[in-house]
Amino acid sequence: AAESLFANEGYNMASMEQIADAAEVSVGAVYFYFKNKADLLVQLLGEIGYLMRTILGEAFKKHGADMEAFKQAGYAFFEDFCVNYPEKCAIIFRESVGKSPEVEKHRKELFDKCTADVLSALMTVCNNQGYKFKGKFSAEVIAVSIMGIYERVAYHYILWQNRGENLKNIGRDALAFILGGITNLFEGP
């Protein structure tokens, strides 16, 4: 109930009373499980982050841990996670930003985990394909950049422009851009 209200009405507009009504429970029951609205948002961030990381990780592993697998994980972000879970995208990319120090701490932890996942995938691709990066920080810069691109593209096209129906093509363009950057920083075997 909170996820739907936060995504559709906005975190600031949703009250604990509205959440309780939508969940068909008492306000006391909501407060029994969550100390406040920020605590509820932190819990949602954890669940959404787990789902997103699982979807991308499974896509990567399924396709052999090479550049194709890396591309398929990107497609999974745009074509599976963003398309099938727009409310979760709204929470993670819009409604959790700047709400409280506690929420921001958990949001940063989630993005740090996602960046570490991308970095690990990049290093796996390098090892599996006999590549290395040209610079000492290339892989780290790419991982941070990819997370920034994913976040901004999802935010821009899903939340600002409501163009989720075009996300497959938009995501594929974003991935082509990302893959071009990655391959530009690889040195061959």
pLDDT in tens, 18-36: 999 999 999 999 999 999 9
Counting DSSP H helices and E strands in the chain, the numbers are: 10, 2
Candidates 103, 80, 79; CA nearest to 91 is 103
State the residue for tokens 């610079």: 135
Tokens of 84: 């099938």
Assign 151 a pLDDT band (cuts: 50, 70, 90).
Answer: confident
Assign 170 a pLDDT band (cuts: 50, 70, 90).
Answer: confident
State the average pLDDT over residues 158-171.
73
Per residue in 82-132, pLDDT (tens digit) is 889 989 988 998 888 888 999 999 999 999 999 999 999 999 988 888 888
pLDDT of residue 28: 94
State the residue for tokens 């075997």: 189
Candidates 3, 175, 14; CA nearest to 79 is 175
What is the rounded end-to-end Cα distance, in angstroms, of the chain? 52
Instruction: Answer yes or no: is pLDDT of 164 > 70.
Output: no
Total-model pTM: 0.87
Burial class from Cβ neighbours inside 10 Å (0-12, 13-18, 19+) for residue 21 reads middle
Instruction: Answer yes or no: is pLDDT of 189 > 70.
Output: no
> How far apart are the C-alpha atoms of 114 and 53, rounded to whole Å?
7
Instruction: Answer yes or no: is pLDDT of 76 > 90.
Output: yes
Please provide the average confidence, as pLDDT, over all residues in the chain.
Answer: 89
pLDDT of residue 29: 93
Per residue in 35-69, pLDDT (tens digit) is 999 999 999 999 999 999 999 999 999 988 888 99
Instruction: Answer yes or no: is pLDDT of 187 > 80.
Output: no
- Judged by average pLDDT, the poorest of 44-58, 126-140, 147-161 is 147-161
pLDDT of residue 160: 66
Is residue 83 within 8 A of residue 55, CB to CB? The reply is: no
